[in-house]
Every structure is written in structure tokens, then in C-alpha cells.
Amino acid sequence: MGQRQEQKTKLTQEGYNKLTDELEHLKTAGRDDIAERISTARSFGDLSENAEYNEAMNEQAKMEARIAKLEQDLQSVEIIDGSLLTNKTVAIGSKVKILDIEYDEELEYTILGKNETDPEAGIISDESPLGKALLGKKKNEVVEVETPDGSLLEFKILKITK
């Protein structure tokens, strides 16, 4: 059996700081808040019919899962160095203006790691179908992206910026 290549979590410095701040908050104030809610709910009596207790325990489980996920992601971080970006090819950290050829519509996306995506704000993951298709490409190249239903979309790269 070959060793599994460990997947690096790619983050900007800002994204890294945001995740470490969230982790610290969850491990301190978050855990204190949940412990207090569980203690209060216990005082309501019979735990088998205590909705507040069950809800607090579910919240605790969700929070602990998030803590574990953040700790795992932060163990193998690769900070994206924006100073190394060029306007020649699309890379993680690039802002890309593309033309949806079928709809003749211009779109603009920033490509970041999966932990920093926010499609509504125009931030897509380097692991998304469009992100993968754009990485390494140059201005004026046309990329094809397969949609979940199997159809192909074509996009022309109009501009690459940092």
C-alpha cells in the first residue's frame, strides 16, 4: 500500500488568522457557554424528557466536531503568498474575469482554498470544477467545465489580477 498524500489546507494569511481565532473562541468561550447550558438544563429535572438538555448536548457535539475539523485543517496549512502571484497564469489567490461564452456574460471570481470559499461574494475553491479548470491557464484561453448534469460550459479568461 502506498502512503496517502496528505492534503494541504491552502489559506491566505487572513483566512488562517480567521480560522485560528474561531478555534480559540470555540475552545474557550464556546465550551464555557455549552457547559453552562448543559448545567442549567440538568437542573430542569428528568433528562429523558428534557428538550433543553438534548439540544445543549447536540450543540456540544456539533461544536466539538467543528473544533476537531479546524484542528485537523490547521495541522497541514500552506499559506498562499500573494507576493508570488503574477498576472500571467491563474493561481490560488488570483482574481479572474471570465466570459461565459454561452450566455455572453462576464463573471469575476477570486480563487482561494476550500476553507475560504464564499460563492455569493465571488470566492470559489481551487477544488471546485471551475476553479480546477482555471488553475494554470492564461489570458484568452478557453476552459471547459463539466456540470453535474454532464453538460459542458465554456469560459474565456479575460483578465487575471492579484
Of 48-57, 66-75, 114-123, where does mean pLDDT reach its minimum?
A: 48-57
What is the spatial distance between Cα 17 and Cα 29, in angstroms, rounded to a whole number? 18
Bridge partners, residue 109, by sequence: 96
Which CATH code is given to the segment(s) 9-79? 1.10.287.180
What is the spatial distance between Cα 38 and Cα 41, in angstroms, rounded to a whole number? 5
Percentage, residues of the chain above pLDDT 70: 94
Question: pLDDT of 43-69, one tens digit each?
Answer: 887 777 788 888 999 999 999 999 999
Instruction: Specify the CATH class of 83-161 in words.
Output: alpha beta
More confident residue, 94 or 9: 94
If pLDDT is split at 50, 70 and 90, which confidence band does 2 have? Answer: very low
The pLDDT value given to residue 1:
47
Residues spanned by CATH 3.10.50.30 within the chain?
Answer: 83-161
What is the spatial distance between Cα 27 and Cα 111, in angstroms, rounded to a whole number? 30
Q: Are 80 and 116 in contact (CB under 8 A)?
A: no
Bridge partners, residue 98, by sequence: 107, 157
More confident residue, 12 or 104: 104
Task: Write down the pTM of the prediction.
Answer: 0.66
More confident residue, 4 or 141: 141
Residues spanned by CATH 1.10.287.180 within the chain?
Answer: 9-79
Asked if pLDDT for residue 86 goes beyond 60, the answer is yes
